[in-house]
Amino acid sequence: MDKYYLSYLDELESEAIFVLREVYAQFQNPVILFSGGKDSILVTHLAKKAFTPCSVPFPLMHIDTGHNFPETIAFRDQLVSNLGAKLIVGSVQQSIDEGRVLEEKGANASRNALQTTTLLDTIERQKIDCAIGGGRRDEEKARAKERFFSHRDDFGQWDPKNQRPELWNLFNGKYFDGEHFRVFPISNWTEMDVWNYIKRENIQIPSLYLAHEREVVWKNESWIPYSQFIKLKPNEEVVTKKIRFRTLGDITITGGIESSADTLEKVVQEVSMMRKTERGNRADDKRSETAMEDRKKQGYF
Which among 93, 159, 142, 95 is positioned nearest to 123, based on CA atoms? 95
Interface residue with other proteins among 104, 164, 233, 238 (CB under 8 A) is: 164
Nearest distance from C-beta of residue 120 to other proteins, angstroms? 20
Least Cα distance to 153 among 300, 283, 299, 7 occurs for: 299
User: Rule CB under 8 A: is residue 53 a binding residue for other proteins?
Assistant: yes
Closer Cβ to other proteins, 98 or 155, answer by number = 155
Does residue 155 interact with other proteins by CB under 8 A? no
One-letter amino acid for residue 157 of the chain: Q
Rounded to the nearest 10 degrees, the angle between the axes of helix 264-273 and helix 191-201 is 160
Compare residues 238 and 274 and give the one whose CB is closer to other proteins: 274
Smallest distance, Å, CB 30 to other proteins? 13
The rounded distance, in Å, linking the Cα atoms of 82 and 294 is 37
Among 76, 137, 180, 244, binds other proteins (CB under 8 A): 137
- Tell me the closest approach of the beta carbon of residue 14 to other proteins, in angstroms: 4
Regarding 220 and contact with other proteins (CB under 8 A), the answer is no
Give whichever of 26 and 117 is closer to other proteins, judged by the CB atom. Answer: 26
Compute the least distance from the CB of residue 249 to other proteins, in Å: 17
CB of 92 to other proteins, least distance (A): 26
Regarding 11 and contact with other proteins (CB under 8 A), the answer is yes
- The yes or no reply on residue 199 touching other proteins (CB under 8 A) is no
Query: Which residues are CB-contacts of 180 (< 8 A; sequence separation ≥ 6)?
Result: 123, 128, 129, 130, 131, 152, 156
Q: CB–CB of 132/44 below 8 Å?
A: no
Q: According to the binding rule CB under 8 A, does residue 202 interact with other proteins? A: no
Pick from 90, 81, 43, 94: nearest CA to 62 = 90
**What gap in Å lies between CA 202 and CA 195, rounded to an integer?**
10
Of the pair 69, 181, the CB lying nearest other proteins is at 181
Q: Coil, strand or helix: which one is 25?
A: helix
Type of residue at 292:
M
Minimum CB distance to other proteins, residue 238 (Å): 26
- For residue 25, state whether it binds other proteins (rule: CB under 8 A): yes
Scanning 33-41, 65-73, 98-106, 170-178 for contacts with other proteins by CB under 8 A, the matching segment is 170-178
Helix ranges, the chain (H): 8-26, 38-51, 70-83, 92-97, 115-125, 191-201, 264-273, 283-286, 291-298
Residues of this chain that bind other proteins (CB under 8 A): 1-2, 4-15, 17-18, 21-22, 24-25, 48-55, 137-138, 141-142, 144-145, 160-161, 163-170, 172, 174-176, 187-188, 190, 192-193, 274-277, 280, 289-290, 293-294
